[in-house]
């Protein structure tokens, strides 16, 4: 159903995390002119249901405007559903001050007496965000390490800093090293307005969405871990030299070798090489 047209109760597709702002589950920061990718998780029972992203500057869900449905792009907003992973992502581009306000991840349940399942988020667009990251997407390989640097303003120097996974809301705190069945996670605060997250011994299952937080502010970060078997390799087939005789000389021409590679960027052009020898006179 569209926003504000339903009543009653239904199982919630989203996990709500109470914060200082009340029913808002996430308070996200983004720089003016920047982009933001937001994951919205839902219960696997709603994989085939319609989803959408809506906005209202006054935080009124009953009057929120639908910006885009799943698997469509409208203006600066794109929504992509991943039903096999039970979440959809919202991409917002070129955000401006007027984009500050309340947003909702919505699963449209349908029916007159059944509520749509929603999660409310607050997005703040600032010229100098109180919490930010350099890269909102990082990549690593199995067994390797990655690090993420999270920046915060002076007003958040004494706030709790964490690195959390959206999927299960597992969080790691500054000053503690946590070792799980997957990777080891260590967070260190330099005391100079940034803290660093170090994940070592990566597993493929570590892939997913995380966030840096300082106090109640969040910044989403996507982690992609690749399988070691995906590392490209290079094969070179050496050609046989071509022998040409002319004017009392033997000319051996080495043609360009054939290169076969899974990564075309590694192929280099090899010039022809030519050698000349005198024939013996009888």
- pLDDT, tens digit, 9 for 90 and up, residues 102-147: 999 999 987 667 888 999 999 999 999 999 998 899 999 999 999 9
Task: Give yes or no on whether 26-126 and 131-230 have one common fold.
Answer: yes
Rounded Cα distance between 110 and 117, Å, is 10
- Whether the per-residue pLDDT at 252 is higher than 60: the answer is no
* Residue 137 exposed, middle or buried by CB count within 10 Å (0-12, 13-18, 19+): exposed
Q: Which of 168, 167, 165, 130 is nearest to 150 (CA)?
A: 130
Sign of the Cα pseudo-torsion (111, 64, 133, 156, in order)? negative
On the question of pLDDT at 5 being above 50, the answer is: no
Write out the DSSP string of 157-179: TTS-EEEEETTT--EEETT-EEE
Type and span of the H or E element at 262: none
Asked whether the whole model's pTM tops 0.75, one would answer: no
According to CATH, what is the number of the domain 131-230? 2.60.40.10
- CATH of the domain spanning 26-126: 2.60.40.10
- Each residue's pLDDT tens digit, 193-223: 999 999 999 999 999 999 999 999 999 999 9
What's residue 9's pLDDT? 36
Lowest mean pLDDT among 70-74, 180-184, 215-219, 250-254: 250-254
**Residue scoring higher pLDDT (242 or 186):** 186
pLDDT score of 113: 75
Cα atoms found within 13 Å of the Cα of residue 8, Cβ hemisphere only: 13
Average pLDDT, the chain: 79
| Comparison of pLDDT for 192 and 224, the residue scoring more | 224
For 98-113, what is each residue's pLDDT tens digit? 999 999 999 998 766 7
Position 192 confidence tier, pLDDT thresholds 50, 70, 90: confident
For the chain, domain boundaries: 26-126, 131-230, 234-278
**pLDDT at residue 237 in the model:** 47
Residue 25, Cβ neighbours under 10 Å: how many?
A: 18
């Amino acid at each position: 159903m569209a926003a504000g047209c339903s009543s009653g109760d239904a199982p919630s597709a989203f996990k709500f995390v109470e914060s200082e702002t009340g029913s808002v589950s996430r308070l996200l920061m983004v720089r003016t002119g920047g982009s933001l990718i937001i994951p919205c998780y839902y219960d696997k029972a709603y994989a085939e249901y319609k989803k959408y992203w809506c906005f209202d500057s006054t935080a009124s869900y009953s009057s929120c405007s639908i910006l885009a449905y799943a698997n469509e792009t409208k203006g600066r907003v794109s929504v992509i559903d991943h039903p096999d992973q039970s979440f959809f992502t919202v991409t917002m581009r070129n955000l401006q001050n007027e984009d500050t306000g309340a947003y909702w991840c919505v699963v449209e349940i349908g029916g007159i007496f059944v509520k749509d399942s929603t999660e409310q988020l607050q997005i703040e667009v600032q010229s100098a965000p109180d919490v930010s990251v350099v890269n909102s997407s990082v990549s690593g390989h199995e067994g390797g390490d990655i690090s993420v640097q999270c920046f915060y303003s002076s007003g958040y120097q004494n706030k709790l800093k964490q690195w959390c996974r959206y999927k299960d809301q597992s969080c790691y705190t500054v000053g503690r090293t946590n070792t799980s069945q997957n990777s080891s996670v260590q967070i260190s605060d330099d005391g100079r307005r940034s803290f660093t997250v170090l994940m070592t011994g990566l597993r493929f299952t570590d892939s997913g969405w995380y966030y840096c937080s300082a106090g109640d502010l969040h910044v989403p970060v996507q982690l992609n871990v690749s399988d070691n078997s995906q590392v490209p390799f290079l094969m070179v087939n050496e050609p046989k030299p071509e022998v040409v005789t002319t004017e009392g000389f033997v000319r051996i021409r080495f043609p360009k070798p054939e290169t076969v590679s899974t990564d075309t960027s590694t192929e280099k052009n090899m010039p022809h090489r030519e050698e000349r020898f005198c024939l013996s006179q009888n």
